[in-house]
Structure 1
Amino acid sequence: MNKIGKYNNVNKPNWKRGIGDRTIRFKCSMQNVIMDVLRGKGWIEAKEDETDFDFFWADRNWMKEYFDQCYMDEHVRINHFRNHYELTRKNLMVKNLKRYRKQLDREVGKLEAAKCDFFPTTFELPSEYHMFVDEFKRCPGSIWIMKPVAKSQGKGIFLFRKLKDITDWKKSDVYRIRDDKTDDKEPPETYIVSRYIERPYLIGGRKFDIRIYVLVTSYIPLKAWLYRSGFARFSNTRFSLESIDDTYVHLTNVAVQKTAPDYDPEKGCKWSMQQLRQYLTARYGIETVEKTFQLMNDIFIYSLQSVKKVMINDKHCFELYGYDVLLDVDLKPWLIEINASPSLTASNQEDYELKYGLLEDVICIVDQENKLTGKEKRIGGFDLMWNEGPVLADDGGADCINPPTYSTNTFLGCHNDRKTQLQQLKKQLAAAKKH
């Protein structure tokens, strides 16, 4: 059964309009929730070989092969930046963060640079293999995690404690470090190796990470939005360091967990961001949880700042990033990775409703239909957190359960009354147009 429409009994605000007298033409490379959203707009779907379109939800391969060859009218919008991989390819993300941390240390000072210490000690292999070995020997008994830089859904990931494990692995056909004694018929696949976070925060004895959505509509100037909703993804098996080979214990990816024998696709292994925030607040109090969520805000802003100068800014482009964050036992958030193509396939009705609302709000902000003033600080479930500087909150958190007391315009895990907000915004824009 085609998954499009399987969960599409969602209340959808009727907010449609074309460019001038012409209905918007769209293309979409994916057959999942985003296709439902685009069709729900009442726009016209362009054929696969057509080059006349106004909006294109493209895959990364299309960007690589065709973006530089296309002429696009000023109003055309596409859902990736040309070199998005500077932030979303695991090795490049770490390289840019390390460089930015050194820049802050040099220009501002160590206190500011320390705010970038939200990613584990990481090395790229093969280029930094000997540096990794030196660090490994300084920390005997530590657990490390290996990840291929260009794969997703947990593919190719493994944990190890002994240097022998990686020595045997690098001699295999999968990976070979070039030196004078090896042939170079094929290049080695690039991996990163990171210190494993051995003391993650557990709920019900299970490890989890958090998927958070950030929308960037421009890098010059930097303009970024944070979505109020997201979810925590739990492992299917209780956490233990005794067996580091058990992927159901250590990897929270849905693609991995759904293969577990007792996985329930309707229940999944997820909590909403609102559930997680309420749980943590009940256990640790508002002040402690605020500090944790403020540290998450720092992750989003500093990571985006780290690529601002290298990202190819293009007025046609925007990007919806899926951030994966892990909490340790001290409630410190750690950045695990950033996804340029976060999954838009729904696993159940609740997941469908989250992703439908998320994508509908993305399209509202991109404003293909020319409705917005450009001064909005909230649109649907998104709050504007950075506009070439931090955005301060006004009364936007009044409807938040345990609202933050700090002044940044971010309300991650707060009440997401996006439908009501869109209706209010529509009335405000209509009233402003009359005047």
Structure 2
Amino acid sequence: MHIMSDHYVKVKVQLEQLKCAGVVVGDTETAEEQEQQQLQVVTDAPPLQPPQSPIHVSLHVRRDTSKCLATARTRSKSRTKYGSYDRSVTTRDASAAGQRLDNAPSLQIKGTGKVLQEKAEANGNVAAGDHTLKDTTSARSRDDANANNKPVKKRRPVTVDTSKAKTSLEALKISIRHLKWKEFPIGRRAACDIYWHGVSFHDNENISSGQVNKFPGMVEMLRKINLSRAVRTMQELFPEEYNFYPRSWILPEEYQTFATQIRLAKEASDSSTCSSSSSSSPRATFIVKPDSGSQGDGIYLIRDPSDLRTMATTSSSGSGSVSVRQVVVQEYIQRPLLIDKLKFDVRLYVLLRSLEPLEIYVAKEGLSRFCTEPYQEPSAKNLHRVYMHLTNYSLNVQSSNFVHSDSRSTGSKRTFSSVLARLAAKGADVKRVWSDVIALVIKTIIALVPELKVYYQAEIPPGKPGPTCFQILGFDILLMKNLKPVLLEVNSNPSMRIEHEAEVSPGVFEYVPSPVDEEVKVGVIRDTLRLMDPLKRQHTGAELEQDILLEAGHPVERAGPEGDQHLAAAALPSLCLKQVFPKYTKQFHYLRTVDRIAAIFLRFLGVKGTMRMGPTAFRTFIRNCKLSNTSFSMASVDILYIDITRRWAGTQDQSREAGMPLQAFVEAFFYLAGRRFKSLPLREQVLSLVEQCEAALGGQQQQGHHPEDRPRPLRISHAPQAQNSPALARRGQDFRLHQTLRPSPKANSDH
């Protein structure tokens, strides 16, 4: 007598279920003999061979399982010797089963030679089917219905690393909750989709994928000196378009120029005063700003170069070394627009979403920050009154006159829209004001982009894995009496704090929520995340169109869990960020001349990760662009390189890298353009040389030069020639004050 294992008991139970399911297998005795035959095949496997071909049978599970189990217990008591295998399944049932189960998954029962064919469920069980041809059609219909109702894969939440967020943490947390994303406040070992840094790109050095909310080099580029240099370069080419930035001097290197210009202006003002009974313009006043200062630290007003404070500072390391503190001196705007007799400025938030292609968004709402003392024109008696002349929040919040208000239109900090509403009530053209502000933003970023591209390729060279970048910038803008906007500065790390310190009881200070800050700043951060959603970019065209409708506040029906997330997104307000570039590309693309020069500069850097051009690369640039001739030999090229590089080396001592930086290369490029096209104005000179270089380099690419002789390419944005530039036709006084924006036909106007 053979002892059966649990496996064989299961096999026997399955065979009994065949009988209960109504399969025709002959009489009971034959079935019992068949059962014993299968068991004997298992126990006496070595001497016996199983049947050559399995029998296809149809399973039909009946609801009366108790009967099946009882039958199984009864038959398990029967033991017979090995007998002949009976294949008495009727031809009709076997053929029907074969037709129905040809394409079904199969399960072979060990020791029986039979194959159970039917759909396997997810848990490993076998779902039995009908055994009649009539029921086959209904089974297939059920399968088709199940196929049409397949569960939609749930979209995973976007992951955000907030471990370096610092002061923007609270507004960022609220934004993540609104979007139903997943926050990692202490970071995680696996990569996140978005990394939110509080200061710079280098807050976290170990990022090789995802997106970071800081660009490499943005902190350096938005220091007062570098911003002034970038805008000044554009003012040389387009003086009328860039007249929104006050005259500025970089000290101490330009001290002699500054002192001379002030002396001449003072003499001219004195002579005009003597010739007329009353002075038509007030005496010039200047504002001094430290290069790396912030929050109003170290800012003061002067009227004469002799009023400048010492710029020498002693090293804090105790070595006793003395360094010169660089500052920017700007012409002070003496006639600003006043509201309630108070001077104010506008903090406008701008999203730089991409450098290549250039993509800029401007927040539809900003903050108006007011001084806390009534304004008076500068005089020797009030130059020191910072609460009257400086609009910095960090300064005025210390004044006893500062008013914290929950209202959008009162207090020392209000929304920009409330200011525009007051201007509109007085008959001002606020649409024109907005157009001028947007034009100022676009032109400023166009001036910054060339240097930012150099920083970017140095930090993340082509072919090296690294994150993509975006950044929120804070533009500080002052409105003059004629409503013309003036750029004060651009902040790489604008404050995103949504609370302020308040005295809740005598001597007790706590941070309390600021509704005005929360309204503006949370919206900017939330919609920045919506625009940078990495999963949204994987959608199809139809899904992306639905996302745009959702962002505009129009509900769109979707089935499944993913549709639920999109319906939840419909509860979000419409985007508070407006795309301004490439939307207005047609009107501003001609200004990207320096960007084209930077593209040529990047082609000849040679070594990946470097930011400065060596002498060999500069000679290669001259030779490949065919700029040398008998009157300008390669020896003259070397002298030009040494002269310009040496002069710029003293202005950028923070860099350890030797060579020619981009700004020095631009100066050399201007010099070469002047030599080659002497009869043309500077703008046409530079454009002509740019086109000549691009044509020469393009011809070399088509000829297929050796890779070492052909520097790696960078996509170059081609601007129209200056003769066809719309700037030449806009010479009137009206354009200098205001500019009308018209969207480009091919620009993305979804936002």
Normalised by the shorter chain, which TM-score bucket? 0.7 to 0.9
Q: 2:371 aligns to what?
A: 235
Structure 2 residue aligned with 1:130: 256
Residue 380 (structure 1) aligned to one of 564, 567, 575: 575
TM-score, normalised via structure 1 length? 0.74
For residues 276-425 of structure 1, what are the structure 2 equivalents within 5 Å? 276-286=419-429, 289-312=430-453, 313=456, 316-346=468-498, 347=500, 348-370=514-536, 380-387=575-582, 389-390=584-585, 407-408=742-743
- Normalised TM-score (structure 2): 0.44
| d(CA) in 1 for partners of 2:311, 2:403 | 39
With over 3 angstroms needed to count, the CA separation of the structure-2 counterparts of 1:114 and 1:309, relative to structure 1, is: same
Counterpart amino acid of residue 316 in structure 1: T
User: Is the 1:86–1:311 contact (alpha carbons within 8 Å) kept by the matching residues of 2?
Assistant: no
| Equivalent residue in structure 2 for 1:170, among 290, 307, 310 | 310
Distance, in Å, in 2 between the alignment partners of 1:358 and 1:326 is 21
Match for 2:400 among 261, 269, 272? Answer: 261
Percent identity over the alignment is: 22
Aligned to 1:395: none
Q: Which amino acid aligns with 2:341?
A: G
CA distance in 2, matches of 1:78, 1:155: 29
Once residues 42 and 22 of structure 1 are traced to their aligned partners in structure 2, the CA distance between those partners, rounded to angstroms, is: 5
* 1:280 match: secondary structure: helix
Question: Which residue pairs with 1:34 in the alignment?
Answer: 172
Aligned residues: 359
Q: Secondary structure at the match of 2:478?
A: strand
Give 2:54's aligned residue.
none
**Counterpart AA for 2:227:** M
Contact 1:149-1:192 at 8 Å conserved across structures: yes
Deviation at 1:236, TM superposition (A): 0.7
Give the Å deviation of 1:49. Answer: 7.3
CA separation of 1:33/1:120 partners in 2, compared to 1, >3 Å: closer, same or farther? Answer: same
Cα distance change on mapping 1:115 and 1:213 into 2, 3 Å: same
Task: Flag the 1:252–1:26 CA change in 2: closer, same or farther, 3 A.
Answer: same
CA distance in 1, matches of 2:412, 2:584: 36
CA distance in 1, matches of 2:261, 2:202: 36
- Amino acid across the alignment from 1:60: V
Which residue is 1:80 aligned to?
A: 214
Q: Which residues of structure 1 form unaligned runs of 5+?
A: 1-17, 106-112, 176-182, 393-403, 410-421, 426-435
Shift of 1:309: 1.8
Q: Which residue in the other structure is 1:98 paired with?
A: 232
- Tell me, yes or no, if the aligned pair for 2:367 and 2:520 is still in contact at 8 Å: no
Give CA-to-partner distance per residue, 1:342-380, whole Å, 9 cap, x none.
Answer: 111124122212211111111101113326767869761
**Which residue does 1:59 correspond to in 2?**
198
The answer to whether the Cα contact below 8 Å between 2:262 and 2:304 also exists between their aligned partners in 1 is: no
- What amino acid is the match of 1:278? A
How far apart in 1 are the matches of 2:207 and 2:343? 47
Matched letter for residue 381 of structure 1 = C
**Against the structure 1 CA distance between its residues 260 and 174, is the aligned structure 2 distance closer, same or farther, given a 3 Å change threshold?**
farther
The structure with higher relative contact order (CA 8 Å, sep 6+) is 1
1:282-302 per-position Cα deviation (integer Å, ceiling 9, x unaligned): 22343xx33332221221111
Q: Deviations over 1:306-333 (max 9, x none)?
A: 1222213576100111101001112111
CA distance in 1, matches of 2:228, 2:355: 19
In structure 1, the residue corresponding to 2:452 is in which secondary structure?
A: coil
Look up the match of 2:662.
none
Aligned-partner SS, 1:27: strand
5+ residue gaps, structure 2, are 1-152, 267-282, 461-466, 501-513, 553-573, 588-738, 745-749
**Residues 583, 743 of structure 2: 8 Å contact kept:** no
One-letter amino acid of the counterpart of residue 88, structure 1: L
8 Å Cα contact 1:39-1:45 kept in structure 2: no
CA positional deviation for 1:45 = 0.8
Partner of 1:200: 336
Cα distance, 1:129–1:361 mapped onto 2, change above 3 Å: same
SS across alignment from 2:536: coil
Shift of 1:204: 1.3
Distance 1:77 1:319 in 2: 10
The answer on whether the counterparts of 1:125 and 1:192 sit within 8 Å (CA) in structure 2 is yes
CA–CA separation in structure 2 for the residues paired with 1:334 and 1:223:
23
Question: Which letter does structure 2 place at the counterpart of 1:338?
Answer: V
Pair 1:405–1:160, CA change in 2 (3 A): closer
Bigger Rg, structure 1 or 2: 2
Aligned equivalents of 1:25 and 1:173: distance in 2?
A: 42
- Change over 3 Å in CA distance of 1:265–1:214 after alignment to 2: same
State the AA in 1 paired with 2:321: K
Q: What amino acid does structure 1 have at the position aligned with 2:578?
A: D
The equivalent of 2:12 in structure 1 is: none
Provide the alpha-carbon RMSD of the alignment.
Answer: 3.1
**Any idea what the Cα deviations from partners look like across 1:81-118, whole Å, max 9, x if unmatched?**
1011354211111101111232x34xxxxxxx411111
Q: CA deviation at 1:238?
A: 0.2
